[in-house]
Amino acid sequence: MNYEPTDGLDARLDGGALRITLDRPEKRNALDDVMVDALIDHLDRANQDEDVRVIVVDGRGEDFCAGFDIVSRNAVASDRKPRVGSIQRRLPAQAHRLIPLVLSTQVPVVCAVRGWAAGLGLHLALAADFCIAASDARLWEPFATRGFTPDSGGTWLLPRLVGMARAKDLLLLGVELSGADAASWGLIHRSVDVSRVADEAEGVARRLADGPTVALGLTKWLVHQGAGLDLERHLANEALAMELSSRSNDFREGIAAMREKRAPRFEGR
């Protein structure tokens, strides 16, 4: 499959890693409609592409992503007021499709965050399976300070990651977190010095890319599905996942490696 770069977003397949770079450094990599559509397309393709074993998302320049570029959108639309309900009609096909795709794609997603991660940019990082952030990164929910309500799953993600009280600090009071504080809260996977972010994210991505891709994808599916199921239905899903993963080539390799007392060599099949 082809992963073509577009305005504001670079994408390339590097071995088993799909590398996506937000590329609008002059706008702190704020997303526009073209970039969101491209992200959705790449994630959808990667979920079906057997050559992709991990997805790595980062930002060009000093920042990860300052959210959605509503200033530019409003400037374009200023001469023509949209019909009532335009936001409600648009979001399901854009930001509200992007975040569920990150959560549901059966390919592990790693985000490398430096500088600002705000709004939709923050939610993109939090929806990833692993978020590695600079200790001095700035994680922020800007909505309340701008007079409107959160979108793109912020009010769903945050209570599940850090609990209701801390979620309200972020969403209602607009508390800004450093990467180090976000890691101590359990909001992200890890924080490191800014000079180490790329290497740390690459190390995690490499471990995932070298892993049993089928089993990892099904395990991710189980974790996310299990949050909304009772135990009986979740155990049924575990049985299904076990049935599927046990038929993979990587399962046979894992058993052979255990029998031969060596490290497994998974091929993602």
Q: Dihedral (C-alpha) 32, 37, 42, 44: value to the nearest 10 degrees?
A: 140
DSSP 81: P
Residue 17 half-sphere exposure, CB side, CA atoms within 13 Å?
20
pLDDT in tens, 170-221: 999 999 999 999 999 999 999 999 999 999 999 999 999 999 999 999 999 9
The pTM of the whole model exceeds 0.75: yes
CATH of 9-209, one of 3.90.226.10, 1.10.10.10, 3.40.190.10, 3.65.10.10: 3.90.226.10
pLDDT beyond 70 at 74: no
Task: Answer yes or no: is pLDDT of 75 > 60.
Answer: no
CA angle 44/161/135 to nearest 5° reads 90
Query: Which tens digit of pLDDT belongs to each residue from 82-125?
Result: 666 566 666 655 788 999 999 999 999 999 999 999 999 999 99
Run of H or E residues at 112: strand 109-113
Compute the average pLDDT of residues 215-234. 95
Q: What CA–CA distance (Å, rounded) separates 57 from 29? A: 12
* Furthest-apart CA atoms within the chain: distance in Å: 70
Instruction: Please report, for the chain, the start and end positions of each structural domain, with discontinuous segments joined by +.
Output: 9-209, 213-260
pLDDT, position 134? 98
